[in-house]
Structure 1
Amino acid sequence: MTLTFDYYFSFRSPYSYLSTPQVENLVARYDIAPRMRFVLPIAVRIPGFFKQVNPLWPPYLLRDTFRISQMHNIPYRWPRPDPIVMDYAAGDVAAEQPYIYRVTRLGVAAERAGKGFAFAQRASRAIWSGEVDDWHEGDHLTRALVDAELDANAVEDLAATHTAELDAEVATNEREQKKAGHWGVPLFVFRDEPFFGQDRLDHLIWRMRHAGLQER
């Protein structure tokens, strides 16, 4: 029996991106399936977040994520452009956020089509790997949809014409994330038990083994 788990994911989170190869390896080894629950970045969800955060946190995040990328041989560079429009010096996040809303809506639409994880892998790689600049322009996200075996035209049309519906689904994911017991990403939830961070995937597998997890 395939065991499923919720995978809370933000396209602005480097840790979410860095978790995707590890989850892919687990899916190849075990009879499991992630159910993607896309959420908006904490910078959008919590107004003034970057005005309140400890100033030591951003530089540590950069050091930590580069270390993880080196350990796991994952290509990584801070995105150009950042998925969030903000003034770093002032900590002000713009009211208009065209990049993150578009890619998040595409993710929700992809999950509806049964390819949410495949799209998350490919889109986050376009954003975070450093292989391309201007990931939000041209056909980079379209190629991510195609490579995920999706009908790119249908998914892009849904994301562009059903914005309120898809945004409501994102808001539901954010409520369910809090109900599960955490606010951060990546967050993995199995049978109402949360596991926060890519460094807790071993704990997730340990728990799933108690529920009868089988290797493929």
Structure 2
Amino acid sequence: YTLESVVDAVYAQLPEHACVLIGWSLGGNVALRLAEKYPQKIKSLVLIASNPHFMETKNWPGVQADVLQLFTNNLQKNPAPTLLRFMSIQVQEMDDKKASLKQIKQALQECAPSSPEVLMAGLGILQAVDQRKILSSLRIPVMMILGELDTLVPVSVGEQCQLLQARLEVHLIAGAGHIPFITDQKQLLALIHDFTRRSDCNA
């Protein structure tokens, strides 16, 4: 389970014609790599709560290395409670965090559970990924949607990414955390529909 293996697996599912690719969190980095590796297949990108360099550095906002390492260690020892803690982190700053956490749990029950090994591999990708150069080199429309209260992807990521990619649109959903596709569906879909409509008109 590597970034490249996920990219190739997603590529195999893409339609024959160029498409709009939407990626959430780690999926945003999959989308960025796909756009670089298979540019003929992607006509625009939507990055939701995603950071091309997930780890915090002196000059880049993100998650602190010791926080992610602690989560990695706990996942190895106690997967179930660690996942619950991770879900709680995603909504901890939101006013309706109890209802949002319930929505997350319900959504997860509808999906096949990920093994601890796959989750660990995903964390490894996040620790190592740096796709800022890819973002800066893109020549297709790109939109980034961030949650105002996201504790994993700071809102300042948007401003930093715009310094790398002048064509990047950044939108902030007020009161949202890391999972706006669950908690703020209407606003998220409205942003995506408007972006894709304008992108098609300008193509």
TM, length-normalised to structure 2: 0.33
TM, length-normalised to structure 1: 0.32
